[in-house]
Homo-oligomer: A and B are copies of this chain.
Amino acid sequence: MTIKTVVWNENVHEQHNKVVSDIYPEGIHGTIAASLNAVPGISASTATLQEPEHGLPQDRLDQTDVLLWWGHAAHGDVEDAVVERVAEAVWSGMGLIVLHSGHFAKVFKRLMGTPCNLTWREAGERERLWVTARNHPIVAGLPDHFELENEEMYGEPFGIPEPEQTIMISWFQGGEVFRSGATWTRGAGRVFYFRPGHETYPTYHNENVQTVLANAVQWAHNPAARVQNVTDAPNVPVEAALEPFEARGPKLHADGEEGFK
Contact = CB atoms under 8 A, between A and B. Distances in A.
A25 interface: no
Contacts of A55: none
Contacts of A187: 114-115, 134-135, 159
Interface in A4-29: 13, 17, 19-20
Contact of A162 (B125, B165, B200): B165
A247 B128 CA distance: 17
A127 to B, nearest CB: 11
Interface in A121-140: 121-125, 128, 130-137, 140
A10 B130 CA distance: 32
A242 interface: yes
A186 to B, nearest CB: 6
B165 A200 contact: no
A41 interface: no
Interface residues of A, number: 101
A125 to B, nearest CB: 6
A55 to B, nearest CB: 20
A132 B179 contact: yes
A118 B230 CA distance: 10
Interface stretch (A30-38, A44-52, A59-67, A148-156): A148-156
A150 B200 contact: no
A247 B155 CA distance: 17
A117 B227 CA distance: 13
Among A76, A164, A177, the most chain B Cβ lie within 10 Å of the Cβ of A177
A17 B175 CA distance: 33
Contacts of A137: 222, 224
5 contacts: A113-B113, A124-B250, A133-B162, A135-B188, A171-B176
